[in-house]
Structure formats: C-alpha cells, structure tokens
Amino acid sequence: MNMKSWIIIIDERRAGGMLDAAKKLGGQVTAAVVGSRALADSIAKLGFDQVLCFETAEGIPAEAYALQVAEAAKAAAPRLVLASDSSVGRMLLGSVAAKLNATMIGAVRLLAVDGESIVASRSTADGKLLEDIEVPGALAAIFDGEDVEASSTKPVPVELMPVEDPGTTMRMVETIEAEEAAGLLTAARVVGVGVGLASKDDLKLIDDLAAAMHAEKACTLPVCDDMRWFPSNRVVGSSHSQIAPELYIAVGISGQPQHMSGIRDAKVVVAVNNDPEARIFKNCDYGILGDLYKVVPELISAFKNNG
Amino acid sequence: MAKMTFDVEYDLVVVGGGGSGKSAALTAAQAGLNVALLEKKAETGGSSIYAEGTCAYESSEQKERKVPPVTGELNQKHYPTREDGFRRYIDYSHHRANPEVVRMFVDNSAETIDIMKSLGVVYTDVTIYAYNQPLEVNSFHRPDGLDERVQELLLRACVNAGVDVFTSTPAKKILMSDGAVEGVQAVDSKGNTMNIGAKAVILASGGFGNSPEMVKKHSWQHRLADYNYQCVPTENTGDGLNMALEVGADTESLGALMVIPCARSKTLTAHSSGAGSQPVLWVNKTGRRFASEEVSMSFADSGNTMAKQPDGVVYSIFDADTVKHLIEEGSDIGLGDFIEYKQKLTRLQAELDQDVAEGIAWKGDTIEELAKNIGLDPAVFANTVAEYNDACDKGHDPQFYKSANYLRPVRKAPFYAVNMAPSILVSCGGIRVNGNLQVTDKEYKAIPGLYAVGMEASGLYGDTYNLDCPGTANGFAHTSGRVAARHAIKTIKGE
Amino acid sequence: MKIIAVFKWSRNPQDGRVGMNGTLDWRGVKMAPNDDDPAVMEVANAIVEDGEIIGLTIGDGDIAWAAARGAARTMVVTDAQTETDSSVTAAVIAAAIKRVEGVDAVIIGDSVWDYGVVSALMGQLGWPAVAGVVSAAKEQGRLRVTRKMGTASQVLEVEGPVVLAAAANREEKNAPGMKEVLFARKKPVERLTMADLGLAPAGDVSSKGTRFPDTPPARMIDGKDPVAACKELMAALRSDGVL
C-alpha cells in the first residue's frame, strides 16, 4: 500500500511533529522545503527519508512557487501531504491538494492507518472534541498535532529541485516590524494581569514581561476597579474591551466568566497560576501551574532571548 | 386614520436583550414566528450577565440530587416544591404578590432548567445563596460559567433560531391602533427612526433601577435617587414602563428595588467590599450602630437597611484582628459567587492600603484617630465602640441581639472603616400583568398584543426582593419571557 | 474591481453541543459568519473602487449579511453545506465563483473555524493567493496586501486575479444598523443549487464520529522548575507560530 508522505516545509515549525506523525503511517517521508537552501540543510538533519528544496528567490514569496511545487507533488504522487497552519504553508498545501485531487482536512491532531484508509483525527467543537475521519484516497492535512523534537545521525543529501522564475505576479515590498504602540485592541501580544499579583509594586514584573514580549498590558476588572492599578481602558472582558491577540499570557488570573468572554478570540492563551483549580486552566492552551513570582522572571528572560 | 406604513413588519418584537427578552424571542422563533429583538446597548445580556443562579421548583436537577445538608433553622428534608415556592412568595410579600403570576412562575420554572440544559448549560449545584442563611430554600441552580455563560448560549440559540437581533437600537414608543398593539418605534444604531410593525410586543427592558428620576418618583426608597452607588454598568432606565404607561398600562406594587451593599466606588468582588459586607460593626454618620449587622445574611435586607441611613452612608468598622481573620480564615457570611462563604479575603490588606491612600477608606491607630479621619464625633464613636466591645466580651448584644458568633471586638490597632453604600441592582416589577404576562389597563383588561416580562413585570414581590428563594429574578426572567411568548404564539396563530 | 466576498460558509464551532459521551449535536444550528468575515468586507470595500462586490455564501443562515456591508448582490448555493472534506466544500464555492465572469479578486475569511476550506479554495482557483491578509490597497493600479507574519507584517504586491484570505485583528467596527440590514434584504439574490453547478453532493470521506481527546485541551506544565517550564512553553509557542 502506498503510504508515501510529503511534508511541505516553509519554516521549522512543527517539522518534527509532522515527520513523526507521517512516519507512523509506515511509508517514505519526503520534506518539500520551499524557501532557503539553509532551511533545507537544517531540515535534512531531522530524519526525513528525502529532502527536496525548492529554492526561492530574494523578494519573491514562497506562494509564487505553488504551482511548481504542486506539479512536482503530482509526479511523486504521495498518499499524504502535510503542512503546518502557517499562512504560507496552508496556501502551498491547497495548491498541492488541488493538483492531487486530494481530500483536505484542517486542524488534524493525529493520524493513523485503518486498513486501506488513513484516519485523520481533527480538533472540533472549539477544541473540545476530536473527530475521526476515514479517508480512502489521497489526503492533504493541516497539521496541528504535538510537535516532537527530531534529529537523525545520518542527514540525507538535499535534492535541489529545478525551479523556474515565477515572474512578477507576486513580490515582496517590505516587512514592517510590529509597532510597540499598536494599542490593546489590535495588539498581537497581550499580557493580562489579575489579582493573583500581591501588590502594586509587583506590576514592575508585568511591565518587564510586556516589554520583553513587545506586548500590550491588560487587566481584569478587579485589578482596575478594586485595586486601581490600571485605568478602565485596560480592562478586558464583558462590558469592556474584547481582544483577539495571537498570544495572550494571563498572569495571576483565575478566569472569571466576565474576563474570559473578552479573550475568547485570542489565538493562543497561556495561564500562569498557582491554583490547580483555577478556572482559567479549563480555558487556556497552556497552563503553567506555579508561583508567578518564580515563573514570570524566567518568562522574561526566555522572551528576551528568543521571543 | 390611514393605516401606518412600516419600515418592516414582524410577528413579534421583543424590547430588551437580557434573559427575559432572549427567552421570549427564542421561544417565539422556534415556533416559527418572525421575531425581532431590540437591544439599546451595544451588547445584549442586560442585568442577566451579572446574575449567578436560577430559581426553579421540582426541576430535573433537584430530582437528581440529594438535598444538601441542613444549614439553617429550617429543617429542609426535601428541595422546595411548587407549593413551597408559592407560599413563600405570597407570604414574603404580605400578599402583595399576584397569585396568578406566582402560579405561572412556580409551575413553569422547572422547564426553564431543562431548556437551558438543552442549550448546553451545565448546572454544578442546586443550593442556597448565602451559606448558613436560615431562611433560604434550595432553589438556586448554579450554572457553570454563571449566568454570563447562559446568556452567551441563549444569544447563539436566538440567532440560530432566526431571531433578528438589533443592538444599539433603543425602542422609543409602542405603536397602537384601535386599542391594540401594532408595532414599535425604535432608533437604529445609525440614528434612523424605524417604524416596526408587530402583532405583539414583549417589554423586557429590565425595569427602572438605573433611572434616579424614576426611583425618586416611584419607589418607597426614593431617597436612594440621591445617593445610590451604581456597582454594575447596566442601563435599565424604565423604558418599558414609560412606554407602557403611555398606552394605558397600569402599575402594581410599583417601587420595590433590589438593593445590595457595596463599598462605594468599588465592585462586588472587591475584598474591601466583601469585608464591609460582613456582620462587623456598622455605624452611620451619627457614629452609632443602627441594626443587627447579621442582616448581612440577606443582601437585599442589608441593602434596604443601609439605604435607610442618612445619605445612605454606612461605615463598616473592623480592627487588625478581624482583617487577619478575614484574610486567613475567610468570610463569615457569603455573597453568592461575589464573596464565597469562608472565602479567604487575601487581597484585603492591599486593597485597604490602596483605598486609605485614595481617601475612600479610613485608618486610625486609635479609635479616636479613626473617628477624626472619617469625620465622626470622636466621643460618640468611642462610646459606640466601647459598648460594642462590651457586648462582644459578654457574648450578648443587648441593643440589637446580633448572634454571639458575629461579635468580633474592635480592639487591636490599626482600625479600619470601609465606606459601604446601597447599590440598586434592579427594580422589582412595576407593570401589572396577568398570569399570561399580558399588560393590563386601569380596568384590569389585557391590552391586546402587549406583554411585560422579567423585572418589568409585577407579581412576585411586595416591597423587597425575595432572597429567601434565591435566583428568583433570573428564574422569573427566563420563565416569564417564555410563557409570554407562548401566549403571543397562540394568539397570533389563532389557536 | 469585481470582487467576490465569500462569507458564512461554516457553522460556529462554539454552537455545537457536546454530549456527555463526546458526541456533537448540531441540531438547530445554522451557518454563521465567522470572526474574520467582517475583515473580508473591510478589505473588499478598501479595494473595490468603482467596481462591484458580490457576496457568495452557502447553506442556511443570514444571506443578506454581506449585502448589509457593501455587497451589491449575493449568490447562495442553497443546498450546500460544510462537508467533512474541505475540498468538497471548496469545490462548491469555486464552481459558483467560476459562473461570474471577469472576477479580479476573491476574498474569504481566514478563519480558524476551518482553515481547510480556505486552503482548498486557494488551490482549486489556482490564482496567486495570500492568507493572513489584514489590509489591502490599490496603488497606481496595483494591488498591495499586508499580511501578518507573527508579530511583523509583510507587504506584498500581487497581480490579479487573486485570492485573499482576510484575517480580523479586532472586533467589527461600524456594524450596519437596522435600516441598512433591512435594505440589504431587498438587494438581488441569486439562488443556486448543487445541480445548477453540475455538482453532486458527495465525497467518499466519512466521519466516524467524535470523542473526547485523551489529553485535556489545555496542556499543563509544571511550574515547580520555572526554567524548564518556560523552555517547554517557548518550544510549544514556537510550534504554534506565535513567536
């Protein structure tokens, strides 16, 4: 049975996790790197059976190579194609799926083989459930499962793929770093503080974390109304601001419904709290159970070093 | 008169997007009616998002559970029956409740719980509100995520059922033709006046608790208009009552308010407010005690008690030992989920320091210094404290008979005073309705097509909100909305 | 420009009722605009100039949603729904798009509700495509789009016809009022069926049902060793693409 997999790679995100998931299906796993040669070289050390490199030209976005990647995929005819949920990866995956006439499934957490079929388990109902989907034919999946650290003692040689100049239909003009003062409502990162913080002087910790993360600061209603540590325009929750950052780090926030309704659309929610029963642990993506006074200083240095 | 031309016509228009309005809209839309819901605020939810639990009798949740251990004087061997509930409302109101409305509520409340469960609400508990409150019945169905979560689910259910929800769209006027409702005039979010035709209109705008003018005019607690502290940002300004009066509605038991004590300029979850709500030593502006502070067992009764004091000013006085007790051992009485029973008020010291610095609470190293800082007559206040400490030592309060277990002396410096204020949460009824929630005129005849539900409607209360049946406001909101909609459906469909 | 704004193509995942045994009940739940759909209309209105925005939706729910936000008319594939296989859903949308001549841009919400549909549609149309678009503008006849790349943003120039997946970075501003909503319901609607598009409701992909995940949705990290905890967190955040 053909269980050949292609993993579309535009950066290192989830590369190990996708490799691991595809390997478990039993077939040959190919990394199709669309990007720099250097990226392909580092991917080649992870343990793929084959690494192809579609080297992109300066100033041309990876998406411009979508049709060429799709043609190559069609020639190889993999049973499974994976990409991470980065916007570039998803677009390339769509192109390959169309060319292969493959089934497309998003938010896939797990993959398995059942007889002649692949069973993809995708996250549904707002992450509360997994749905098992039986796919008899070719499958293109956006992989959202656990990442795994991968490495191999025997790097494979990178195969440079012939790439044609994609022309000028798409070109990069500039990259703009996030403005520090994007404002709470549109900020990509937000640090939220609750009354788990013991005193106003400790807000220095939150200031430092926000600075290290290039984040805006927000707070719960009691922090504003009862402690008066922040003005009301920093309050997130019902009757106050609703925010949708990429990353929300909740420090010392218990997770009252009033507050949680304001961060419902945040992409990734991290909670730091020392109460294992804190409600927020039911409503976050990552929960660090521990003393915020010990955890936050480490978070600050972690973000300073590689955030 | 030429028939009015409408911008749009619906079967039913619901005015107000809180719990009662959404329940009405959902019921009608599920029955196939064409429904618009008008909400004047930018978000629906009304007072319901601040509600915690829901009152019901003989619900499936009560049937599935063991009766909680007896907590008070009442030996509750079973969950309250419909009959228990019925008697409670009639007795508590001194027969000012409308038996038809009470009957409607106790008979239909259990279905409310089942409907909420079908929407995805999970009840974590059926209990009382203030633990150890001897008079409460176990009617309080506590949803996971409190009523804020219930309102979210209800809104999604309304949208899915096809209700047209228009926010920032206040209703201004009920349109009448030949003595019957023919629609509503509203102003949309862009300022356009909209004439909306409707076969029935359900008023669900939450009463008049946030209108000082109407509190002054209608309530026996009219003085609150001058010194009420608004602790939640609701905007219940009596729109429904005013519109109903314009078209000939009559009132009944008008003027009851649900009043809760809250530290002035703080929230109900503030630990300083929680401490101030405890049965510690309370004095008013005269520097004297005025009641058994044990009244704090019922927030509604203690709200009324505070509202009666000069300028609504109450100082909750406690010493360093009591601060330590509240921080380390927790509260002596609970305030629902705002301040749970035995909740450790861990933020109390930080809040007190903050509040003292801001001038909204006071501190003194001596009783005299505290009196001076508050602005009380030091001699009178010192005498009050001395008498109170004496009562604490004897374990007997000869003045107001407060139970010995709440007699905590004020002896160890530093001493603190928290400024407690009465806060109107919502008004309790106003528009007279019959058992179908139809608004009735001066002749007690139903005005065709007009309904009032939730806190807009009279029928359950006398002069005060009944906290002995906790969750009543919320349970009644959902139940009355649904029952009104059912009557409207029947009438419109000619069944 | 002639723009097709694809809206309301899925149900709100928060609307599904989760049963005690891990079942998922969609009874009574209609298709809903997603959180990114307002951004679709914002981007469309920003680049349409003197052209036309055509709303395109599938299934039940509020057909006039896009019309209330600037679409001149709306197409709806009435008997289509969101399929398990996103390629099938995308094929329906793509087939409807292909009925319209001279389309310069297709814009769809880059919705986490179902990234699969967005990817599949981009692939099937085969046009230059950009996801994560937060804004767009026409400059000297050329289309410039800005997309999120983590905390930075990247400006691209794209030649049409193009597919853009628009991502909201805030709540909808200036939502239409009642009058606009009612007026929108009088705008033209073209009702199509799968048969009109030459499609059969199909797919050989089948759902075997839902279940609770073995691990809780939140990944708990023990903070006893703060250094290790932060290391684990940073690795996870990197995988999620938010660093």
User: Residues A4-24: pLDDT tens digits?
Assistant: 999 999 998 899 999 999 999
Q: How many domains does chain C contain in total?
A: 2
CB-based contacts of B97, cutoff 8 Å, min separation 6 = B89, B90, B253, B459, B460, B461, B462
Chains contacting chain B through 3 or more C-beta pairs under 8 A: A, C
User: Residue B247 domain-assigned?
Assistant: yes
* Inter-chain touch C177–B8, beta carbons under 8 Å: no
Q: How confident is the model at residue B336 (pLDDT cuts 50, 70, 90)?
A: confident
CATH no. for residue B106? 3.50.50.60
What's the pLDDT tens digit per position in B92-143?
A: 999 999 999 999 999 999 999 999 999 999 999 998 887 777 788 999 999 9
Same domain, C156 and C242: no
Determine the pLDDT at residue A264. Answer: 81
| C17/B119 touch (CB, cutoff 8 Å), yes or no | yes
**What's the pLDDT score for residue B1?**
47
pLDDT bin (cut points 50, 70, 90) of residue B81 is: very high
State how far residue B239 is from chain C, nearest Cα, in angstroms: 19
Handedness of CA B458, B464, B469, B475 (dihedral sign): positive
**Chain B residues whose beta carbon lies within 8 Å of the beta carbon of residue C59:** none
B74: confidence class by pLDDT, cuts 50, 70, 90: low
Position B69 scores a pLDDT of: 67
**Is a pLDDT exceeding 70 seen at residue B70?**
no
Q: Which residues of A touch B43 (CB under 8 A)?
A: 238-239
Q: Are residues C105 and C33 in the same domain?
A: yes
Mean pLDDT of chain B: 95
CATH number at residue C155: 3.40.50.620
Band of the pLDDT at A252, cuts 50, 70, 90? very high
CATH topology classification for A184-306: Rossmann fold (3.40.50)
Question: Same structural domain for residues C157 and C194?
Answer: yes
Indicate yes or no: CB of B189 within 8 angstroms of CB of C178.
Answer: yes
Cβ–Cβ < 8 Å for B215, B228: yes
Residues linked to residue B96 through DSSP beta bridges, in sequence order: none
Per-residue confidence band for A238, with pLDDT thresholds at 50, 70 and 90: confident
Contact assignment for C210 to A214 by CB distance below 8 Å: no
Query: Cβ of B148 and A258 within 8 Å?
Result: yes
Chains that touch C (3 or more CB pairs under 8 A): A, B
Average pLDDT over residues B467-492: 97
The pLDDT score that the predictor gives to residue A226 is 87
Q: What are phi and psi of B421, to 5 degrees?
A: -135, 150
Determine the Cα–Cα distance for residues A77 and A92; give it in Å rounded to an integer.
16
Domain co-membership, C177 together with C206: yes
- Contact call for A91 and C122, based on CB within 8 A: yes
Q: Which chain B residues are closer than 8 Å to A258 by Cβ?
A: 49, 148
- The pLDDT of residue B397 is above 80: yes
**Cβ of B269 and A257 within 8 Å?**
no
Which residue in the set C13, C209, C226 is minimally distant from A294, CB to CB? C226
The CA-atom distances, in angstroms, between B191 and each of B10, B171, B194, B484, C168 are 21, 12, 9, 30, 27
Across the interface, do B267 and A238 touch by the CB < 8 Å criterion?
A: no
Q: Residue A307: its pLDDT value, please?
A: 57
The single-letter DSSP state of residue A155 is: P
Q: Are residues C159 and C181 in the same domain?
A: yes
Neighbour-count burial of B78, counting CB atoms closer than 10 A to its CB (0-12 exposed, 13-18 middle, 19+ buried): exposed
Contact indicator for B29, B51 with CB cutoff of 8 Å: no
pLDDT, one tens digit per residue, over B11-58 is 999 999 999 999 999 999 999 999 999 999 999 999 999 999 999 999
- Parallel/antiparallel/unpaired status of strands B361-364 and B415-427: antiparallel
Residue B34, domain extent: 8-256+428-493
- Whether the pLDDT of residue A47 is over 90: the answer is yes
Band (pLDDT 50/70/90 cuts) for residue B266 is very high
Report if residue B188 sits inside a domain. Answer: yes
Query: Using the beta-carbon criterion (under 8 Å), do B267 and A257 form an inter-chain contact?
Result: no
Q: For residue range A171-216, list pLDDT tens digits in order.
A: 999 998 766 556 888 888 999 999 999 888 999 999 999 999 999 9
Pairing relation of β-strands A216-219 and C162-166? Answer: unpaired
| Mean predicted confidence (pLDDT) in C169-182 | 91
Amino acid of residue B248: G
Contact C181 B166 (CB under 8 A): yes
One domain, residues B233 and B266: no
Query: B364: domain CATH number?
Result: 3.90.700.10
B367, pLDDT greater than 50: yes
- C-beta atoms of C229 and A288 within 8 A: yes
What percent of chain B has pLDDT above 90? 92
Q: How far is CA B304 from CA B256, B308, B465, C214, in A?
A: 10, 6, 10, 52
CA distance A3 to A26: 6
Percentage of chain B modeled with pLDDT above 70: 97
* Residue C222 and residue C191 share a domain: no
One domain, residues B94 and B204: yes
By C-alpha distance, the chain B residue nearest A242 is B43
Are residue B313 and residue B394 in the same domain, yes or no? yes
DSSP H or E segment with residue A232: none
Give the separation between CA A174 and CA C157, rounded to whole angstroms: 10
pLDDT-derived band at C105 (thresholds 50, 70, 90) equals very high
* Cβ–Cβ below 8 Å for C177 and B190: yes
Summarize pLDDT for A137-165 with one digit per residue, the tens: 999 999 999 888 888 888 899 999 999 99
Name residues whose C-beta falls within 8 Å of residue B141's C-beta, 6 or more positions apart in sequence: B53, B54, B55, B56, B59, B61, B113, B123, B125, B126, B471, B475
pLDDT higher than 90, residue B337: no
Grade residue B76 by pLDDT with cuts at 50, 70 and 90.
low
Closest CA to C97 of C3, C165, C189, C171: C3
**pLDDT > 70 fraction of chain C, expressed in percent and rounded:** 98
Smallest CA–CA separation between C18 and chain B, in Å?
Answer: 7
**Domain shared by B142 and B199, yes or no:** yes
Confidence (pLDDT) at A183:
85
Last residue within a domain, chosen from B424, B456, B481: B424
Q: Same topology for domains A5-160 and A184-306, yes or no? A: yes
Identify the residue among A65, A81, A104 best suited for mutation to test binding to C, counting C beta carbons within 10 A and taking the highest.
A104
Q: Do B43 and A226 touch (CB under 8 A)?
A: no
pLDDT band of C171, cuts 50, 70, 90 = confident
Q: Does one domain contain both B364 and B455?
A: no
* Residue numbers in B near A238 (CB within 8 A): 43, 45, 49, 148
Q: How far is B178 from chain A (nearest CA, A)?
A: 41
Task: Please state the domain count of chain B.
Answer: 2
Q: What is the pLDDT of residues B286-304, one digit of tens each?
A: 999 999 999 999 999 999 9
Collect all residues of chain A within an 8 Å Cβ-Cβ radius of residue C148: 87, 188, 246
Contact A102, A73 (CB under 8 A): no
A232 band by pLDDT with thresholds 50, 70 and 90:
confident
Contacts of C181 in chain B (CB under 8 A): 164, 166
Contact C179 B192 (CB under 8 A): yes
Region A275-303 average pLDDT: 94
The residue among B424, B441, B468 that closes a domain is B424
Angle at B45 between CA B42 and CA B51, to 5 degrees: 145
pLDDT of residue C242: 85
Cα–Cα distance, A250 to A220 (Å, whole number): 10
**pLDDT for res A296:** 97
Q: How confident is the model at residue C224 (pLDDT cuts 50, 70, 90)?
A: very high
Please give the pLDDT value at position B259.
97
Q: What are phi and psi of C232, to 5 degrees?
A: -60, -40
Inter-chain touch B354–A227, beta carbons under 8 Å:
yes
The pLDDT score that the predictor gives to residue A118 is 97
Is the Cβ–Cβ distance between A141 and A131 less than 8 Å? Answer: no
Give how far A253 is from chain B: nearest CA, Å. Answer: 13
User: Structural domain of residue C239, as residue ranges?
Assistant: 213-243
Smallest Cβ distance to B194: which of C17, C32, C178? Answer: C178
In this prediction, residue C160 carries a pLDDT of 82
Contact with chain B for residue C24, Cβ under 8 A: no
Task: Output the pLDDT for position C153.
Answer: 86
pLDDT at residue B449 greater than cutoff 50: yes
Together in a domain, C170 and C217: no
Average pLDDT for residues B267-283, to the nearest whole number? 96
Has domain A5-160 been given CATH number 3.40.50.720?
Answer: no
Domain positions in chain A are 5-160, 184-306
Alpha helical stretches, state H, chain C:
37-47, 86-98, 115-125, 178-184, 226-239
**Contact residues of A toward B, CB < 8 A:** 195, 198-200, 221-222, 225-228, 238-239, 256-258, 261
Cis peptide bond upstream of A78, omega within 30: no
Q: Does residue B3 form part of some domain?
A: no
Mutate to test the interface with B, among A199, A203, A226 (most CBs of B within 10 A): A226
